[in-house]
A = this chain, B = another copy of it.
Amino acid sequence: MILATPPASLVDRLAKPGGTVISVGGVDIGGFEVIVFAGPCAVESEEQIVATARAVKAGGARILRGGAFKPRTSPYSFQGLKDEGLGFLALARAETGLPVVTEVMDARHLEKVVACADILQIGSRNMQNFTLLEEVGKCRTPVLLKRGMSATLAEYLLAAEHVMRGGNERVILCERGIRTFEPSTRNTLDLNAVPMLKRLTHLPVIVDPSHGTGLAWMVPRLACAAIAAGADGLLIEVHGDPTSALSDGEQALTFAEFAQMMPEAAAVAAAVGRRIGAAIGIDLNVTECAS
């Protein structure tokens, strides 16, 4: 039996010292601009996703997020609108022009998710679902691979290697909080991971402070911190009415909170020599954060 050996690690920074920029619908992820992905945890209706898409676009988001297939800890929780949700996401994209990221939970759904999504999300719970990684590795659609909730960075990079080895080199990494002993927040956002990943790999690294804290009021502060730590983007949950959200309402920003956070985030981006929102003509950098 002959086993494959790695000629060189595909994720390794040395393989691409200048870093990888992933272009999706005119948005460059991993470049000068800090890219904000925003939207609801779950697509709940056409009205909801279209209204949210408009709100986050107005606020400066460049990518729309929204789950149609939802992995849920309890089988009795809302599992997502599935195919119908994918359709609503396509409508929201048509309305706003925002590229769409949505989760794929199962290789058997891949064809239909690929037909709708501009970026395929692999959720934390599937970070080591190796047959799924292999399948998205065969796609040409970029992949947003979230860190498993107790994955070391070494394991995380090997999960990305699983995808890249299939031929799909457009992988975006996302720190989303790890599981620790601290109970006051949903997870512990590990911002050490941002500079460490940027050093170890050439792939873009974004941060999800919504899952990383689980508390909407805390999201803007950790979003700013993530940018200061060197993140290439943010993944932010936004909902028109968080108290009625079908999942994760406690961590969703309202439209107004999102609109308020973005100039703060932009000020920090400017302070570290980057920009938010520039390419779409929104100047978020004029005001100083007053938080």
Q: Tell me the A residues contacting B by CB distance below 8 Å.
A: 1, 3-6, 71-78, 105-109, 125-126, 128-132, 149-150, 152-155, 158-159, 161-162, 165, 178-185, 188-196, 199, 212-213, 217-218, 221-222, 224-230, 246, 264, 267-268, 270-273, 288-291
Contacts and interface: CB of A to CB of B under 8 A. Distances in A.
A272 to B, nearest CB: 5
B153 A182 contact: yes
A176 to B, nearest CB: 12
Nearest to A6: B76
A185 to B, nearest CB: 5
Nearest to A192: B185
26 contacts: A3-B76, A3-B78, A4-B75, A6-B76, A107-B108, A108-B131, A109-B131, A126-B129, A150-B150, A180-B188, A182-B193, A183-B183, A188-B190, A188-B192, A189-B190, A191-B191, A192-B218, A194-B221, A194-B225, A195-B217, A199-B217, A227-B228, A228-B228, A267-B272, A273-B289, A273-B291
Contacts of A246: 1, 3
B222 A191 contact: yes
B190 A218 contact: no
Nearest to A198: B221
A272 B224 contact: yes
A148 to B, nearest CB: 8
A230 B226 contact: no
B165 A75 contact: yes
B75 A161 contact: yes
